[in-house]
Amino acid sequence: MLFELERVSLRRGGKPVLTDLSVRLPDGLNAIVGPSGSGKSTLLRLLDRLSDPDSGTVRYRGTDARELDPLRLRREVALVPQLPALLDGTVAGNLRFAAEIGGREPDVAHLLEVGGLDASFATRDVARLSVGEQQRVMIARALASEPRVLLLDEPTSALDERARDSIEATILDLHHRIGASIVVVTHDIAQASRLADWVAKIERGRLVGQGTIAEVLA
Amino acid sequence: MGEVAAALALVAVAVGISRWRGAGLESDIVIAVVRSFVQLTAIGFVITAIFDQDTLLLVVVLLSVMVVFGAFTARTRAREVPDALRPLIIALALSAVATLGLVLALGIFPATPRYLVPVGGMVIGNAMTASAVALNRLGDEMHSDAARVEATLALGATSRVAAAPSVRRALRSGTITLVDSTKTTGLIFFPGTMVGMLLAGADPTDAVRLQLILLYVLLGAVAISALTATSLAYRNFFTPAHQLRDTGGASGPDSANGQAGGAIG
Ligand SMILES: Nc1ncnc2c1ncn2[C@@H]1O[C@H](COP(=O)(O)OP(=O)(O)OP(=O)(O)O)[C@@H](O)[C@H]1O
Ligand SMILES: [Mg+2]
């Protein structure tokens, strides 16, 4: 099992965001679906130990996440946040920075290619990119540490259909080419069925169903 | 004391302007005048006593009290920084000890209360302003840049690396006021020490010499305090597991007032 959440609860600002949530996500292609405000992003951040639950356990490949070194976990399990948040400077600068943190040799050309960006983007200032382009750089940057798992939070919510299709193709390609497991958060059921084999559905911080696409989204 | 009373005429002008234009500062001005009178009179007695006793122990006590008061004052401008008091006390104390220590070691001033009290007071006052401005900025930065900081953490960066851009900007804003005013010294404004010495009848060259020494000492003090305060305080935004703490984003009511000018000597 890739991730297992056992009776996880989390409060934010005094109100419950996740309540008694038990979720299993196997290796492969996973989606977390649910309406806006249901706690999807909060759940995804737990998988990367960007926060810890108030109660309950999060396990990554059988080990309690609290026992793992968060820095090593995050290099192995890369999270791409919902909103692009690049560092000031060029695209290549961001990619090199991430590779350095991940302890890898930066291969800017290769990262741009898997992110679906052409080589001319290397020298572009990130402040002058469209949101869709920034989102791609975020994905490319997350790959710089050569992660085994990719957590994607609404990777296409700000994009038109064509850009969305092309990012979805990139995600599937990543899974097939480097064998990375994927957890994608989306409010779009159709997208979940295009991208995932296994789905967890949450509403108001509670699990309302998990299983194969056919079982849950039928 | 007659001259002091006469100078109150200018306070009356300030109150008049505030009332005339509806600036609503009348009561603040009165409070400021009363507080400055009480505080300076009191410190005048304290300094007289310390000069009379001529022991360094009392100097240390006085400067320590200043450090603590300074840290509490600075904290009111650093409300968005969790537990800002400890970093501020350490920053002020360290900058006072380091600069005064260096000043004595280099033989710039003799180790007597007559020098240590005023120089120490100025060092702590400027260190306070600088660290307050720096931490105020740090709070704003960490708040507005939270998404970027967390995205950097998600790459596997330590909190130190993730906070570095914010810390850098905070350090810069804490130090830059004094750097800028040092640049324009003598052109656009006369610093207080020089004015005081000239008014007291000192030779202009002596006044300039002392003022330069103090400006350079203060630059060091300000840099040390802003560096110490920011390098300690950024940690309070994170958990030991390199997670951004949920500070709830409560913005302090004073957060816009952080850019107040430096109390330069
Ligand atoms: N720091 C916080 N303080 C208070 N409440 C928070 C905080 N973070 C999230 N919440 C609340 O937790 C709930 C879940 O938020 P979350 O971001 O996980 O939702 P989501 O499912 O990702 O929504 P969306 O699809 O809109 O991104 C929301 O009601 C949100 O208001
Ligand atoms: Mg979300």
Domain annotation for chain A: domains and CATH numbers: 3-85+147-217 (3.40.50.300)
Dist. CA A111–CA A20, nearest whole Å: 39
Residues around ion ligand 2, judged by CB within 5 A, are: A 41, 82
**A124 alpha carbon – ligand 1 mean position (Å):** 33
Give yes or no for a contact between A111 and A147, defined as CB atoms under 8 angstroms apart.
no
Regarding whether B35 and B59 lie in a shared domain, the answer is no
A107-136 pLDDT tens trace = 999 999 888 899 999 999 999 999 889 999
Same domain, B115 and B199: yes
As a whole number of angstroms, the distance between CA A92 and CA B130 comes to: 35
The reply to whether residue B156 touches residue A74, judged by beta carbons under 8 angstroms, is yes
Question: Taking Cα atoms as reference points, which of A144, A145, A165, A143 lies closest to residue A155?
Answer: A165
Q: Name the DSSP letter for residue A157.
A: T
Q: Are residues B154 and B26 located together in one domain of the fold?
A: no
B7 and B81 within one domain: no
| β-pairing verdict for A15-25 and A3-12 | antiparallel
Give domain status of residue B183, yes or no. yes
Do A67 and A15 form a contact (C-beta atoms < 8 A)?
no
Residues B63 and B137 in one domain: yes
Distance from CA of B173 to the nearest CA of A (A): 18
Q: Which of A50, A80, A87 comes nearest B153 by C-beta?
A: A50
What is d(CA B11, CA B17) in angstroms, rounded to the nearest whole number? 10
Task: Look at residue B261 and tell me if it is in a domain.
Answer: no
In a domain, B158, yes or no: yes
Q: Give me ligand 2 centre to Cα A44, in Å.
A: 9
In a domain, B265, yes or no: no
Query: Do B78 and B67 share a structural domain?
Result: yes
pTM of the predicted protein model: 0.87
Assess contact for B251 and B143: CB atoms under 8 A.
Answer: yes
Give the Cα-Cα-Cα angle A103, A68, A52 (nearest 5 degrees).
115
Please indicate whether residue A94, judged by its CB atom, sits closer than 6 Å to ligand 1: no
Are B226 and B194 in the same domain?
A: yes
Q: Three-state SS for A128? A: helix
Query: Does some domain include residue B198?
Result: yes
Looking at the structure of chain B, the number of domains it has is 2
* 3-state DSSP assignment of residue B25: coil
The pLDDT, as a whole number, for residue B257 is 37
The CA distance from B146 to the nearest CA of chain A, in Å, is 9
Do residues B132 and B203 share a domain?
yes
d(CA B13, CA B19) in angstroms, rounded, equals: 10
Q: Which domain holds residue B10?
A: 1-53
Task: Give residue B48 CA to ligand 2 midpoint distance, Å.
Answer: 64
pLDDT (tens digit, 0 to 9) for every residue of chain B, 265 residues total?
A: 789 999 999 999 999 999 999 999 999 999 999 999 999 999 999 999 999 988 899 999 999 999 999 999 999 999 999 999 999 999 999 999 999 999 999 999 999 999 999 999 999 999 999 999 999 999 999 999 999 999 999 999 999 999 999 999 999 999 998 999 888 888 877 788 888 888 999 899 998 998 899 999 999 999 999 999 999 999 999 999 999 998 654 333 333 333 334 445 5
For a ligand 1 pocket test, name from A40, A43, A185, A206 the mutation site with the most ligand atoms within 8 angstroms of its C-beta: A40
Residue B263 lies in a domain: no
| Percentage of residues in chain A having pLDDT higher than 90 | 81
**Average pLDDT of the segment spanning A160-168:** 87
Count contacts between A and B (CB, < 8 Å): 63
Is the CB of A36 within 6 Å of ligand 1?
yes
Distance A153 CA to ligand 1 centre (A): 13
Q: Judge if B103 and B189 occupy the same domain.
A: yes
| Residue numbers in B near A75 (CB within 8 A) | 155-156
Interhelix angle B146-154/B159-184, rounded to 10 degrees, is: 140
Residues B94 and B184 in one domain: yes
Distances, alpha carbon A47 to alpha carbons A25, A53, A68, B37, B245, in Å? 10, 10, 12, 59, 17
- A17 ligand 1 Cβ < 6 A: yes
